[in-house]
A and B are shown apart, each in its own frame.
Chain A
């Protein structure tokens, strides 16, 4: 009896610090370690996907074919999209969720730590599988990240099967991650942390997790139907066999539209944390922010066919999806107005996280404006599948989702590493990214309006000027990201010691633990008096 007690005590001691060496990372069930793994993985994917993008922009620098053949060009656009969406943006948000949700709600860890380990470690294999297709006979997937059938089935390269399995694995990883987030938030909040006191990052992730659970199975279903069409003679999407290529698009976008909100809702949460901190003023309209997020999530399920205005839906269908899409701009607008009202009459300072957050508000809103334009169906006939759409979704995803991730990295780096990052380098990174991203994507609006289709490796001469500018912006933006790498490495290795509070105006439980956050936090619940309304 007593020896068992001693053993147990010993065991307990053992678990206080991380294991040594590679096994720490392979077998870890610690939310902070897993968060770190996710973040590094997503950064690596960001650089890989960025390299693919630079191949695309190099080819488009001038009219004519210079560097790659059209088939490889299509593989680059496809891989760029897939790697950025599934490899960079989504895992980065999961990484932040792992690190921050337990710290924000006063929980000792995620609810399902072993599944947490598993959901990360299957990801590298999924991407290995997917990227390896580039080296296979016949080349990798070349049908766009939206992989419309029958280009992705009857007419696909053989490697499509690897792509399908990779998507299955990514989907499984996302679903496990989402279950974990929901279980953690619903069950592990510290006493006193009521739902309406949760930081918005927690709220937005809770809603995102439900979106993930709802739509990832649809994605799994659609790729499985592809698999059957390719290998088992079914004709889900093959018109010659009685199937329906348009059905593919309905299924894909039923997943795809919520997916774009999966990539932006957590970003809303991050920005809602950072702006009040540096404006030194409480977030304006917390309740309305929560309701707006929930309405966006609901509406995101009934707008999918706005990606399909040109497939020849009946008039009634077109009108329904047009109205629903216009409607989604309303709660999105409410969010932007609330952020601006938070800054209004605050006492602002402009450290790097705040710069990224403000740029997010402005540039994401520009993406929202073009979104509303795209909702106008007759006008969308002109915009659809042109660079105007490319500009739209890159504005919401790059200076939108990706800037929010950078803001988050700068904001929480001191908490993660215990050191302040180099502010000068941070600002340099911001300004280079800001100029780069606008040079890169703003001219694409003009290209689209003037008639340049997307996904083409070569273009007519009247598109030469803006393509040239866009490519210059791409290289500026791309190489600026190495500054972020430098900042992070420097910050891990040392610097000015960070206090627990880190930022003068920061609110919330994560700032009550020391910096760096100890390996185990909130093993006993925090004092309820520390939990304040946001």
Chain B
């Protein structure tokens, strides 16, 4: 029997080796050490408890296998008759207990440190949506132009459906990464707009649930500028696997420059909102926005997946009164997967996508809406 098992094992491992020779992906076995003080301390805790477990395992499994090899009936072993010993029981209750106390002390220390979010130098609000993140920078100056943006998966649907080769950062890349300065205590204030999500970047050793109605705190001081990636870690519906996190950590001076530029852009959007949008521009930009935000449910051909995800083609909401199209896009359809895009897209983008769905996929209303009208709709309490 044993030889059969060995045969299986060697077959399995043989296949494995052959296959891995041609493979490109990594064989990563362990947690990253990360780039913050807390992440390194977390890693050390992880390794300490791991080695304790290995040590206990070696002793327990050692005795077990030694007995299996030596105390078998086929070798003429005679069973002993002992069956209890209070002394031994006390020892193997106390020893693990002491080991656990030795573990609890550093764990308490690291946890306490990780919980101290005081004296942050920059606060960023993180909001989870089905299925993207929003980042809002909380400026000390209340009159400063607000910097806030949505961050969605940038991997193309073609890569996901295997019709083209997958890029290096497949499923871990976004359109607008979160940008923070290095060597700065950055505090994250986390919440969610619909269901639970969890914001997780392994290199920071931060994982926190974002919960509607609650604000959770976390913080980092990243020492190394660079690009760090993570994913949503709490099941949040259909596209839970497709809302990654990408963080660009810049030197503080570079961050300042980036931040100023963002404020500048925010100002520009405000100006453009009041300018006229042409039909061609609206359709071109609308197509892009559709691919990024709508394709998952309504599909590339606008036919949707009824009944859960209705078709755009011929839809009453897309071809009837333009106010209804606007309302659907801005406020979403509560209780369904149709999200409210009023905050996720700026008025120019909203005007484009509204115009697009009314004039694409066989819909030919021929009409359009201007950014200023959309803005009025939003500001005017809808």
Q: Footprint of B on A, CB under 8 Å?
A: 63-66, 69-71, 74, 137-139, 142-144, 148, 150-151, 154-155, 157, 239-240, 243-246, 279-288, 310-312, 315, 318-319, 322-323, 326-327, 329-330, 333-334, 336-337, 340-350, 358, 361-362, 365-366, 369-370, 372-373, 376-379, 381-382, 384-386, 424, 427-428, 431-432, 434-435, 439, 446, 449-451, 453-466, 468-469, 472
Question: Which of B114, B169, B233 has most chain A Cβ within 10 Å?
Answer: B233
Q: Which residue of A lies closest to B202 (CB)?
A: A451
Q: Which residue of B lies closest to A447 (CB)?
A: B28
B171 beta carbon closer than 8 Å to chain A: yes
Q: Lowest 9 A-B CB distances belong to which pairs?
A: A239-B213, A456-B241, A312-B216, A450-B28, A282-B83, A369-B53, A345-B80, A464-B25, A64-B162
B267 beta carbon closer than 8 Å to chain A: no
A280 touches B79 (CB 8 A): yes
Neighbouring A residues of B160 by C-beta, 8 Å: 64-65, 458
B131 to chain A, nearest CB (A): 10
A-B contact pairs, 25 of them (CB 8 A): A64-B161, A70-B238, A138-B307, A142-B238, A155-B195, A245-B196, A281-B79, A288-B89, A310-B209, A318-B115, A323-B104, A362-B64, A369-B57, A370-B53, A373-B53, A376-B45, A378-B45, A379-B46, A424-B1, A434-B5, A449-B30, A451-B31, A453-B240, A460-B169, A462-B28
B74 touches A349 (CB 8 A): yes
Question: Which of A326, A327, A468 has most chain B Cβ within 10 Å?
Answer: A326
B71 touches A346 (CB 8 A): yes
Given contacts A346-B80, A362-B61, contact A469 B28 (CB under 8 A): no
Pick the residue among B63, B84, B171 that contacts A458 (CB under 8 A).
B171
Given contacts A282-B83, A329-B96, contact A381 B71 (CB under 8 A): no
Label chain B's interface by main secondary structure: mixed
Pick the residue among A69, A155, A285, A319 that contacts B194 (CB under 8 A).
A155
Neighbouring B residues of A312 by C-beta, 8 Å: 208-209, 211, 214, 216-217
Neighbouring A residues of B26 by C-beta, 8 Å: 450, 462, 465
B212 touches A239 (CB 8 A): yes
B5-41 vs A: 1/0 string, CB under 8 Å? Answer: 1001100100110011001111111111000001001
Bound-complex Cα distance A347 to B72 (A)? 5
CB contacts under 8 Å to A, within B131-173, are 159-162, 166, 168-172
Neighbouring A residues of B381 by C-beta, 8 Å: none
Q: Which residue of B lies closest to A370 (CB)?
A: B53
A344 touches B63 (CB 8 A): yes
A377 to chain B, nearest CB (A): 5
Of B105-113, B354-362, B364-372, the stretch lying at the interface with chain A is B105-113
Q: Footprint of A on B, CB under 8 Å?
A: 1, 4-5, 8-9, 12, 15-16, 19-20, 23-32, 38, 41-42, 45-46, 49-50, 53, 56-57, 60-61, 63-64, 67-68, 71-74, 77-85, 88-89, 92-93, 96-97, 100, 103-104, 107-108, 110-112, 114-115, 130, 159-162, 166, 168-172, 194-196, 198, 200, 202, 205-209, 211-214, 216-217, 230-242, 305, 307-308, 335, 337
Q: Which residue of B lies closest to A248 (CB)?
A: B196
Q: Which residue of B lies closest to A463 (CB)?
A: B25
Label chain A's interface by main secondary structure: helix
B339 to chain A, nearest CB (A): 11
Bound-complex Cα distance A279 to B211 (A)? 53
Bound-complex Cα distance A110 to B104 (A)? 46
A446 touches B28 (CB 8 A): yes
B28 touches A431 (CB 8 A): no
Question: Which of B80, B168, B209, B232 has most chain A Cβ within 10 Å?
Answer: B209
Neighbouring A residues of B79 by C-beta, 8 Å: 279-281, 345-347
Bound-complex Cα distance A468 to B168 (A)? 19
B72 to chain A, nearest CB (A): 5
Q: Which residue of B lies closest to A143 (CB)?
A: B235
Neighbouring A residues of B32 by C-beta, 8 Å: 451
Bound-complex Cα distance A514 to B142 (A)? 86
Neighbouring A residues of B60 by C-beta, 8 Å: 336-337, 340, 365
Pick the residue among B88, B100, B239 that contacts A326 (CB under 8 A).
B100
A70 touches B241 (CB 8 A): yes
A170 to chain B, nearest CB (A): 22
B224 to chain A, nearest CB (A): 18
Q: Which residue of B lies closest to A466 (CB)?
A: B27
B77 touches A150 (CB 8 A): no
A376 touches B61 (CB 8 A): no
Given contacts A63-B166, A240-B212, A372-B49, contact A284 B84 (CB under 8 A): yes
Pick the residue among A63, A240, A246, A468 that contacts B211 (CB under 8 A).
A246
Bound-complex Cα distance A451 to B207 (A)? 11
A460 touches B171 (CB 8 A): yes
Neighbouring A residues of B45 by C-beta, 8 Å: 376, 378-379
A514 to chain B, nearest CB (A): 26
B83 to chain A, nearest CB (A): 4
A453 touches B232 (CB 8 A): yes
Given contacts A431-B4, A432-B8, contact A461 B166 (CB under 8 A): yes
B110 touches A378 (CB 8 A): yes
B104 touches A322 (CB 8 A): yes
A65 touches B63 (CB 8 A): no
Q: Which residue of A lies closest to B31 (CB)?
A: A449
Given contacts A280-B79, A455-B240, A465-B26, contact A139 B308 (CB under 8 A): yes
Neighbouring A residues of B93 by C-beta, 8 Å: 330, 334
Neighbouring B residues of A341 by C-beta, 8 Å: 88
Neighbouring B residues of A240 by C-beta, 8 Å: 212-213
Q: Which residue of A lies closest to B80 (CB)?
A: A345
Neighbouring B residues of A65 by C-beta, 8 Å: 160-162
B306 to chain A, nearest CB (A): 10
Neighbouring B residues of A137 by C-beta, 8 Å: 307
A245 touches B212 (CB 8 A): yes
A334 touches B89 (CB 8 A): yes
B107 touches A458 (CB 8 A): no
B170 touches A461 (CB 8 A): yes
B23 touches A148 (CB 8 A): no
A285 to chain B, nearest CB (A): 5
Neighbouring B residues of A469 by C-beta, 8 Å: 16
B235 touches A435 (CB 8 A): no
